[in-house]
Amino acid sequence: MMFGLNKESCVEGNDVKIVSWNVKGLGHIIKRGKVFSHLKSLKADVIFLQETHRNINNQQTLRAKWISQVYQAPFTSKARGVAILFKKNVSFCPDSVVADPYGRYLIVTGQINSIPITLLNIYAPNVDNPDFFKNVFNLIPTVTANIIIGGDFNCFLDIFLDRLSTKAPSNIRSVQTLNDLIKTRNLIDIWRLQHP
């Protein structure tokens, strides 16, 4: 999922291409090479990765010649971990970084091409935990004019549009909380905007 602050910034913000991908582990060098090759082919300017499975000792493995900056919230080599990567042609100047010690979220605030922005990458728990979303959203600076939130939320915003199963979702409280936070923050589901 990917959210932006308002419809205008989502539509007109096509100058910077952002990709979000749950890579389900980057421990093996061959898989890491294939992932980075595919990411390069997508020509993304900013990349949100979830489940990097990187720990504090092997963070350098997320570097590539075409990437200029890497920000991470690692956890272990077997679980979690999120990262935000910037392509070399992106002029990003960081102001602050908030990295979850449990590898669940990463908030990077700064400027892209002199425009203030907050980027939030989430890898949410796969259980019904509405407090997770409340706590993370409370960390977002309220003065930020441009917010991009992406990641693996482990839930569906609309059970009729976003899933095939007819079985009721087990994380209904998280879904309701996330939808409330999106509405309160005046965020737009970028995917839904581009694919009605």
- Assigned token pair, 116: 């203030």
45 annotated to a ligand binding site: no
Find the CATH number of the domain harbouring 112: 3.60.10.10
Whether this prediction's pTM lies above 0.85 is answered by yes
- 124-168 pLDDT, tens digit each: 999 999 999 999 999 987 766 789 999 999 987 776 666 666 666
- 91-108 pLDDT, tens digit each: 999 999 999 999 999 999
Query: What pLDDT is stored for residue 109 in this prediction?
Result: 95
The parent domain of residue 147 ranges over 2-194
From residue 58, give the alpha-carbon distance in Å to each of 52, 88, 100, 138: 11, 22, 17, 30
DSSP, collapsed to helix, strand or coil, labels residue 70 as strand
22 annotated to a ligand binding site: yes
8 annotated to a ligand binding site: no
Domain count, the chain: 1
100 annotated to a ligand binding site: no
Q: Find the helix or strand (DSSP H, E) in which 190 lies.
A: helix 190-194
DSSP, collapsed to helix, strand or coil, labels residue 172 as helix
Q: Is the pLDDT higher at 3 or at 147? A: 147
Contact indicator for 90, 112 with CB cutoff of 8 Å = yes
CB proximity list for 152: less than 8 A, separation 6 or greater: 1, 20, 22, 50, 51, 122, 123, 124
Q: What span, in angstroms and rounded, lies between the C-alpha atoms of 190 and 147?
A: 12
